[in-house]
Amino acid sequence: MVAVVQENLAFIAVTITSGIFFLICLGFVFRLQKKLEQNHKNQKFLKQQLEESNAQTEILRSEIAELRSGLMSIGKRLLACENFAKDLAQQQAAQKYDDPDAKIYSRAVKMIELGAGLEEIMQECEIPRAEAELLLSLHQKQS
């Protein structure tokens, strides 16, 4: 009878130990299940953020392409304006040397800048009084 009681006690001890072990394993499984769910949520959130970032990147790429296109257009227009300005300057310089009277007027303007008077300009440049007065009044308005 003692052997039967000991067997029953051993069986009960094994059963209790197995039950405790089962509960511990069940706790670990439950904890792992919670972590797995949290990881799935994090993964879903990160995937959504990645998709939003990719969409934003595409928008920025298209805006950069538009800016690049606009800058190229502005650059071409600026180059055309510079060429036009150079051509105008060359034409102006050519006209200055084509007209022999222009040299006289250039000299008169230089004299005005240096502070020459009306009579002196008329004598040195051999220009009429009206033209000398006109040059003086024009230069005085510019100063």
Distance, in Å, from the CA atom of 73 to the CA atom of 134, rounded to the nearest integer, reads 45
pLDDT at 9: 85
With a cut of 60, say whether residue 143 has pLDDT above it.
Answer: no
More confident residue, 121 or 1: 121
Tell me if the pTM is above 0.85.
no
pLDDT digits (tens, 9 = 90+) for 54-101: 999 999 999 999 999 999 999 999 999 999 999 998 888 777 656 666
Whether 123 and 102 have beta carbons less than 8 Å apart is answered as no
Q: Residue 85: what pLDDT?
A: 94
Token digits for 125? 């440049």
The predicted structure's pLDDT at residue 67? 95
- Name, of 22-26, 121-125, 133-137, the range with top average pLDDT: 22-26
Comparing CA positions, the residue from 84, 80, 135 lying closest to residue 107 is: 135
Would you list the DSSP string of 91-105?
HHHHHHHH-HHHHHH
- Residue 20 dihedral angles phi and psi, to the nearest 5°: -65, -45
Estimate the crossing angle of helix 118-125 against helix 129-142, to 10 degrees: 120
